């Protein structure tokens, strides 16, 4: 409980400091800070509880399916993570930035978001289903991939970035928590009825994404701001133009944390995939926890005073403390879960899991740096840094992973994360030294005429 409370408290106090930078008037500060702290605590608490529900679901699946069949689910989720990136085309962060900078154009941004993600995710889903049909895999794995491909289309249409642009992250997290809790109850019931399998897992995951996206749309429409369609072709072009470097950056950034299971499936077997998959899910949970802090402060980084040095120092310190607390908490939880809760067949996953958590910590440091580089209009630098890390992982993985299996894949992840974060920090230092202003000239020219 102490770890959970600390994880809630650090982003909350960071929000209070940020509110003091954004609102110099004392009366506004009091009201704004109170709302910011309350929203930060609720958002963080809801997100942590959602992760606990997701963790419980994965524990049930791993114990019921066993290493071999759970390895198939792990491989499917790895593929879905790439489906999601391909279907989003990197515009999620751009929506937050431009929704904060140009609130009068939210209808145009919403329509452009649906247009881009709908077309992209639909094409990706169709290609994935065709690929699963012709791929020489088991029938249950083919059904799993088809469910994940269809569910991914709806997941890409989720308007969660608009909640962030309005500083309503707590509402979004509350929706996610309700959906995850209901999903956990469904999985427990399916296990009791003894009809939990690979196909059931695929249907469950796809259904969860559909329900989550649908409720997000309804809550935003009735509780935040009414949704209206306003199509402007120039907005679509501007989003794609700014988003594709971030899309490619996210695509290659995920390689050190995801592609290891594909190496292991080719060189080793499903059992090794399941072991590394557990570690990768722990690392993914850590990265998601790190985005709690990012999602809280991101709109303020893009705000009018986001480039003040005092603001940046407060932010970096608070975010760093948050990352350390989450690392200690998740590392301790990993020892308990693998050592006592999972089947003994998963014990050898503990070492790679702890190493991958270290890689996620290093990657989290680069996450905040990327937010500032986006503010400076340096999306392509984010792409190049992550591309260098991905190239290193792919090249070294061909030699290291066949010999060292899960341990080699985990070690390469840490080194790759260090390469990416180091390059991002170096570029941010160059931007600050050169006194860049962080103006989004491309989109500003679009909305100006």
pLDDT score recorded for residue 206: 92
CB distance 112 to 236 below 8 Å = yes
Q: pLDDT at residue 392 above 90?
A: yes
28-32, 145-149, 263-267, 393-397: the lowest-pLDDT one: 28-32
pLDDT score recorded for residue 17: 46
| Token representation of residue 28 | 């506004």
Q: pLDDT at residue 4 above 50?
A: no
Q: How far apart are CA 261 and CA 43, in angstroms?
A: 32
3-state secondary structure the chain: CHHHHHHHHHHHHHHHHHHHHHCCCHHHHHHHHHHHHHHHHHHHHHHHHHHHHHHHHHHHHHHHHHHHHHHHHHHHHHHHHHHHHHHHCCCHHHHHHHHHHCHHHHHHHHHHHHHHHHHHHHHHHHHHHHHHHHCCCCHHHHHHHHHHHHHHHHHHCCCHHHHHHCCCHHHHHHHHHHHHHHHHHHHHHHHHCCCCCHHHHHHHHHHHHHHHHHHHHHHHHHHHCCCCCCCCHHHHHHHHHHHHHHHHHHHHHCHHHHCHHHHHHHHCCHHHHHHHHHHHHHHHHHHHHHHHHHHHHHHHHCCCCCCCHHHHHHHHHHHHHHHHHHHHHHHHHHHHHHHHHCCHHHHHHHHHHHHHHHHHHHHHHHHHHHHHHHHCCCHHHHHHHHHHHHHHHHHHHHHHHHHHHHHHHHHHHHHHHHHHHHHHHHHHHHHHHCCCCCCCHHHHHHHHC
Q: How far apart are CA 198 and CA 202, in angstroms?
A: 6
Q: pLDDT at residue 149 above 90?
A: yes
Using a pLDDT cut of 70, give the percent of the chain over it.
86
Q: pLDDT at residue 170 above 60?
A: yes
CB distance 230 to 82 below 8 Å = no
Asked whether the whole model's pTM tops 0.95, one would answer no
* Interval 202-231 mean pLDDT: 91
Q: pLDDT at residue 37 above 70?
A: no
Cα atoms in the 13 Å half-sphere on the side-chain side of 228: 9
| Token representation of residue 411 | 């070690």
CB distance 278 to 415 below 8 Å = no
11-15, 114-118, 171-175, 324-328: the lowest-pLDDT one: 11-15
Scan for tokens 């700014």, then name that residue: 242
18-32, 36-50, 67-81, 95-109: the lowest-pLDDT one: 18-32
| Token representation of residue 236 | 């679509």
pLDDT score recorded for residue 36: 59
Question: Rounded to the nearest 5 degrees, what angle is found at the Cα of 158, between the Cα atoms of 157 and 161?
Answer: 120
pLDDT category of residue 104 using cuts at 50, 70 and 90:
confident
* Interval 182-186 mean pLDDT: 91
Q: How far apart are CA 398 and CA 400, in angstroms?
A: 6
pLDDT score recorded for residue 63: 81
Pseudo-torsion of CA 66, 71, 77, 78, nearest 10°? 160
């Amino acid at each position: 409980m102490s770890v959970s409370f600390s994880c809630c408290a650090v982003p909350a106090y960071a929000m209070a400091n940020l509110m003091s930078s954004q609102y110099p008037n004392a009366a506004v500060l009091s009201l704004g800070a109170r709302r910011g702290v309350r929203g930060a605590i609720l958002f963080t608490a809801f997100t942590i509880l959602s992760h606990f529900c997701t963790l419980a679901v994965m524990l049930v699946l791993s114990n019921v399916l066993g290493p071999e069949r759970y390895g198939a689910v792990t491989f499917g989720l790895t593929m879905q993570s790439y489906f999601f990136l391909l279907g989003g085309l990197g515009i999620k962060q751009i929506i937050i930035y431009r929704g904060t900078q140009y609130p009068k154009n939210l209808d145009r941004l919403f329509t452009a978001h649906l247009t881009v993600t709908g077309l992209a995710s639909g094409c990706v889903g169709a290609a994935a289903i065709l690929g699963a049909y012709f791929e020489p895999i088991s029938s249950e794995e083919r059904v799993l991939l088809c469910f994940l491909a269809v569910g991914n289309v709806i997941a890409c249409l989720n308007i969660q970035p608009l909640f962030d642009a309005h500083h309503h992250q707590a509402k979004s997290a509350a929706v996610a928590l309700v959906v995850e809790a209901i999903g956990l109850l469904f999985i427990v019931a399916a296990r009791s009825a003894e009809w939990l399998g690979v196909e059931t897992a695929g249907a469950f995951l796809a259904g969860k994404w559909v329900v989550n996206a649908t409720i997000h749309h309804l809550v935003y429409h009735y509780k935040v701001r009414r949704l209206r369609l306003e199509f402007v072709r120039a907005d679509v072009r501007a989003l794609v133009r700014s988003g594709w470097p971030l899309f490619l950056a996210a695509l290659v950034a995920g390689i050190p944390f995801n592609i290891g299971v594909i190496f292991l499936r080719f060189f080793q077997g499903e059992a090794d995939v399941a072991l590394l998959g557990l570690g990768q899910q722990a690392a993914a949970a850590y990265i998601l926890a790190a985005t709690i802090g990012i999602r809280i402060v991101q709109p303020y980084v893009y705000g009018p005073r986001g480039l003040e040095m005092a603001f940046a120092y407060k932010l970096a310190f608070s975010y760093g403390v948050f990352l350390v607390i989450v690392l200690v908490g998740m590392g301790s939880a990993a020892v308990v879960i693998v050592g006592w809760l999972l089947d003994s067949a998963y014990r050898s996953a503990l070492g790679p899991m702890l190493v991958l958590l270290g890689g996620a910590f290093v990657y989290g440091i680069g996450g905040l740096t990327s937010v500032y580089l986006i503010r400076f209009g340096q999306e392509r630098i984010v792409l190049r840094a992550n591309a260098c890390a991905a190239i290193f992982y792919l090249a070294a993985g061909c030699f290291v992973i066949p010999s060292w299996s899960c341990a080699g894949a985990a070690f390469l992840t840490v080194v790759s994360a260090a390469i990416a974060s180091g390059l991002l920090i170096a570029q941010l230092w160059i931007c600050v030294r050169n006194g860049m202003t962080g103006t989004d000239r491309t989109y500003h020219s679009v909305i100006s005429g």
